[in-house]
Structure 1
Amino acid sequence: MRAGHRARLAERASEPAVPRSTRLRDLWRGTGADLPGGDPLPSHRAPMEGYLWRFTDPGRGRVLLVACGVNHPPGPPWATVVVAAHPSGLIRSASVDGAWDDTAAYRISALPALALDGKRLRVRIGDDVDIRCALRPEHTWPPRRLLPGTSVFSAVPGLNHYWHPHLFGARVEGVARLADEVWDLSGSQVYAEKSWGRGFPPAWWWGQAHGFDREDLCVAFAGGSLGRGGLTLRVNGLVVRAGDETIGLFPPAALVRATVRDGTWHLAGRSARHRVELTGTAPGGRAYYLPVPRLERHRFGSSVQHLAGRLHVTVRQDGRLRYAGESALASLETGGLAAG
């Protein structure tokens, strides 16, 4: 026993020391918050870490959505991987024990279902889904900002949910085998985001769209009950990427209001220079019921999502109309109480 104890002590002594600054950073990020100038993409090891990618092929009228949630409960972490495709209606999911996401880099291992190493994504679910692609980001959330993520809320510890859209366009090479179909993903318009916190809010709404008449236009929005302890507020945010500019409207710097009911998503946001209005509808569109992981191991709720809804967008800058158009390949989602 003494010899074994000495061996363990020697092994620990040989491990490289973790700098104090790194330990403090990890402790702070463990609250859900990021330091000024920090990178939200590596794992915070929050109870829930969510990753999402969406591929839109306007020419073929196709949409592919990939989502991965890594849960960090007491005990070993576990993951949920979900794939949904339009117009085929395919939905596949897998629940995996022993998942891992890196606190220092944008990497995930949820084998055998999903692996992400920076710019390479691999998804495999049973015999029906095999996705292999490489992404070269071209349009990302503006770097070198004082505030991490999308707003001041990213620096507030202990909130129940954080949201960070970070990729609005990329060159993609790869293929997706989806049941009996094989999709060439090259040329697809790509979007990616990350979320984390203590789990999904009690109610939420979300949307994202490429597929406008401008290839360089990308829209994303999210809203729900955000808070800490017994204090919760309905908070909304939206992002429009137009050309080389990223317009992010988030409180408290901007006012964003949302009305989501009866199959309609309406958001209106304004800041000192910008006015953005979004109206999403899913008239007769197919609803996808996607599994949503709860914090309890291998237990799930669900969200209701339309992968090919319509989203009309109006953007004004300094009082002048900058863009007005519509996509017919928008994801529009409600979850929790909002999905009832």
Structure 2
Amino acid sequence: MRSFTRRGLAAMLAAALPAAAGAQAWPARPIRFVVPWPPGGLNDLIARHFNDRVSARLGQVIVNDFKAGAGGRIGVAEVARAAPDGLTIGMGNLGPLTIFPNLYKDMPYDVRRDLIPVMMFAASPLVLVVNRDLPAQDVAGLIALAKARPAQLNYASIGIGTAQHLIFEMFRVKDGIRMEHVPYRGAGDSLLAILGNDVQAEFETLPSILPAIRDGRVRALAVTTPERVPHLPKVPTLKEVGYDIEVATWYAVIVPARTPEPIVERLYAEYTAISRSPDTQAFLAEQGLIYLPNTRAEFAARIASETTRWAAIIADRGIKVD
């Protein structure tokens, strides 16, 4: 019996060695990092900064593969369909992972079933800004003005069902205001609209709107992060002015479901180390971004809670897309 046990143990160890060796060898080939947006923008800049540094730590090239379209859904679906071997990973954010599953009937992936969220490596505060000639110096003033002029003020967003749109729907629920929603194709178009007074207010990402705030073309009333941002130290948070609203448009690493746990843990460790490094902190500050420390469990919980929040507001307001 003893010799059989030893032989059986030896066989089990021998069978396990190739698998263990394969795990230790990861990544044996270049890693494809799917970016669900076009090259040349902020997503591109973030991906290149992080992946250049993570690839040096892994000893293997990370190749950025841009798969734009459908607000990020095409690229995220590419990650969801990939082999779970750690050689195809990608970037996800607020829209494709938490809002769109509640907005579109025909989703090409299921976030909980098909993906593993690894970590959130950067985040952008949203800033509530108004046309500089609007007689509203703070959030209370904007709400009062909207109540005094029902359906006469417009607000911009970068599309139906985006965070920029849904936060104003939260205002509508809390305060009963009636402002008209005008969706635009992107931040450039919405900025031109607010400068031209075609719309009077909008929430916009800090990197996109910061130059216009600094040169006085728009007035900042509040930020959506839990704490004030260093770039706008005099601008209060929404929580400071009485709104229990916290929103950040974040950028995260995602991998296909069933990716081996050691690989997921290694990715978490390497991207987190780069996020906390001094040169990355300087890079984020320069871009108007922040890093929100997060464990894997905290990030997964954030996705779940945000998905629930957006589902409620979308259902309550009857928001639909064609």
Q: TM-score, normalised by structure 1?
A: 0.24
Indicate the structure (1 or 2) with the bigger Cα radius of gyration: 2
> Highest relative contact order (Cα 8 Å, sep 6+), 1 or 2?
2
Please state which structure has a larger fraction of its residues in helix.
2
